Chains A and B, each alone.
Chain A
């Protein structure tokens, strides 16, 4: 229990907000930029027209009320730079895409992008803006055959958005599919013409037609007590082996009173993190083919999965210990990774996305906590420096780390503001 509690203390940790970016007092002050390119300020206007009180209240008889209204913040904590989340590769098209969950943005780089220096690398192009419908986006996938990019809105938005290759800027998606709340990972099964998503909140994998749109129902749903799915995140379809691999954080709780009773009154649980593998055609409350779980695995907040079908391996972005773990695809039980990349020379900090470019013998990692992606040799191991670095903010720029924050508290003893993600 102590180890579980310790591990989940990470979840319970909060961001102490110490980085005040500037002052902005009074209406339309000249304080910090509020990412104006992301926000259509005119669209945020309403009938209030700047009045200090709602019109309805102004007509009320007892007008002895405190004033407020359209006032500017005196301080703002916000990250003006992308927070890199997931990653997908298309070596044939020389394309790498990374999702930015901070600003609802897709960044495209050349496969050979970056270099040994930590200087900022400008993306080749971006998809970003109100028309895209992208919000708190998470997983990404590329479809080289149909030249399409897939991404999902995670905890707000509840949509999968599909864009054609080559578009940039503030463009509408080619297709929009409404997906379960909390969808996170995306993986394409080109052979079956399907797209598989992991869903955190309902502990499920949902599989749709590749071309699904609107309110179309999934073809299959993997969900239930036997699945061992527990707060699933990364997902990877191993097409040649007809399997789906899923990374689980280990959180589990019944969704409804009925589910609690049907589950023999199981309460919430902190399970060990795991990677569960299913047949690609699996559906319903089915037992996984294999489960990778235990202390030796060193799994700790496993995020994205990267598959290497050529060498029958997969990589795990292991957020909780700033590492990348590489396992054999067929590993199961409590086994150690065959390789691990970790240490102060690696530049890995808060890894969320990982992808293996087996054609070019490279392994890519996106760092949520460092405004960077790092590229290693595919067989890199230990505390090694990356081959290339792609930074999207000047070296030393702190990553605020907000990800769809939903609450705030004030610690009056330390004069700190506490924000859970």
Chain B
């Protein structure tokens, strides 16, 4: 399992099962061997290896990103069984390759996707929320100034995109000396961009450096109420919490 999303409105947890081509939906209080309340799986779903997932509760939709499918599939939030997706964003014009993260801004009607590729840009792709088919993204945040080499989970809140920039190199040069996993050439970071950013632009803010404890951050989630950012690190096998009131919308009172 490489992704997870929580639906606070309906109190459900959604998990993609990468190796079984499935999406499982659990009650929010599920534990142990509780049975999922819904399972999306089968040849009609178009799911190959679902990697990442997010929810749009405003429009009752689930967005699923796939790495080997090079696409984003959209299902009704209550879809169950071997059902076809409502929409599929896929094709050369999308420039999507290995999709690692998806997030939706329902207010701005935007879909934000992170994708890594050896052919297309590795970065953040912004589509219209209702896009379908082989469509051109309306913005792509990628390039050397972004600091993005490898990318994974993303989150969107208040017009900002939070990105787990993992920057791992898992395709090593076989002729090179044994590469050390513990001191990668480019340590990862959590980067923050405006949702209106486009092109080779540096992050508006980041969590990066030796004090952060981040090596290869693979996941990011937000707790706006407490002004906290959660980062999961795949090499450290750790979950780190950062207090960053400066990046959250100050019009919402903090719970601290």
Contact = CB atoms under 8 A, between A and B. Distances in A.
Interface of A: 2, 5-14, 16-17, 25, 27-29, 34-35, 38-46, 48, 50, 53-54, 56-57, 60, 65-79, 83, 102-104, 129-131, 133-136, 153, 156-159, 172-173, 176, 178, 181, 200-201, 214-215, 231, 249, 251-257, 260, 265-270, 400, 402-414, 417-421
B239 A251 contact: no
B183 interface: yes
B180 A408 contact: no
Given A73-B242, A251-B17, A251-B19, A407 B205 contact: no
B36 A78 contact: no
Contacts of B43: 260, 265-267
Binding site of B, secondary structure by majority: helix, strand, loop or mixed? loop
Interface size on B, as a range, is 35 or more
B174 to A, nearest CB: 4
Nearest to B144: A56
Given A5-B36, A69-B207, A156 B168 contact: yes
Interface in B1-18: 1-6, 8, 11, 13, 15, 17-18
B135 interface: no
B204 A66 contact: yes
A118 B103 CA distance: 47
B137 interface: no
A7 B13 CA distance: 17
Nearest to A34: B213
Interface in B190-230: 192, 202-213, 215-216, 218-223, 225, 228, 230
A214 B175 contact: yes
B147 interface: yes
Nearest to B47: A268
B121 interface: no
B253 interface: no
Contacts of B35: 2, 5-6, 9
Interface string B128-149: 0000000000000000010100
Contacts of A72: 211-213
B13 A14 contact: yes
A322 to B, nearest CB: 12
Nearest to B205: A68
B209 A48 contact: yes
Contacts of B4: 14, 407-409, 418-420
